[in-house]
Amino acid sequence: MPAERLCAVIPAAGRGTRLGLGIPKIMVEIADGVTVWHVLHQRLRPYVEHVHVVMSPEGEGPFRALAAEQIAGGEVSVSVQDEPTGMGGAIFGAAPHWEAYGTILVVWGDQAGLSPVTVDRVVRAHGKGLTLPLVPMPDPYVEYELDGDGTLVRVRQSREGDECRPGGLSDVGVFCLSTEGLREEWTRYLDEAALGARTGEVNFLPFLPCLSRERNWPVTVVPVTDPDEARGVNTADDLEYARRAHLRWAR
């Protein structure tokens, strides 16, 4: 475990549109009475002091009901992203909830296939700066490019029209960052960043090479071998995989 206090931050305002369920993906059920939230909370709670979840306005009430016990006990808190301005907006809009902690573990709210082994290895590997679990993918949707010195020089995103290279490194929806100076760096980045070519958003992922390349933040890569860990719950096939993964890790 790191010496710094650790808070998990879960941006979960997105809805499962492609799943046709009309609810936030973090609330999708993957087993009888078990939602993506239950899986993520189980994975994270041995390692973090607190979990903060960012919801949409319409998702806040149902999620508070789902996590009522953990919220009442003070181990979980919730805030609302009023406008869908992207993951960066969700994470840094919630900064008052995590700034008191030395480290944040950002986890996408649909990563139901995240293994407890990966969480353990990331938390143990993190020192200062940025720690990324990365996995080679035959056809990555997002690709991370590092140079020979270990500097993260670029993140390619298919959703913004970038061409990702076969076999390139992709993330598994987990990002571990030191919080010292982090909010200030994001504010500075907002003044410099180009909007996404297709989304028109200031994306969170290109902020990471900015920290590494321009701000000299150290980057620690944690290798992941199973490409299925990179799957969020976006489609019916993803949901079926999440159900199988839950059964495997629940044994």
Q: What is the pLDDT of residues 22-63, one digit of tens each?
A: 789 999 999 888 999 999 999 999 999 999 999 999 999 999
- Quickly count: other Cβ atoms within 10 Å of residue 129's Cβ: 17
pLDDT the model gives residue 65: 97
pLDDT the model gives residue 1: 44
pLDDT at residue 19 is higher than 90 = no
Give how far the C-alpha of residue 4 lies from the chain's centroid of Cα atoms, to the nearest Å: 19
Under the banding of pLDDT at 50, 70 and 90, the label for residue 234 is confident
pLDDT the model gives residue 54: 97
- pLDDT tens for residues 82-134? 987 889 999 999 999 999 999 999 999 999 888 899 999 999 999 999 999 99
CB 103 within 8 A of CB 2: yes
pLDDT the model gives residue 18: 67
CA distance 208 to 198: 19
pLDDT the model gives residue 20: 67
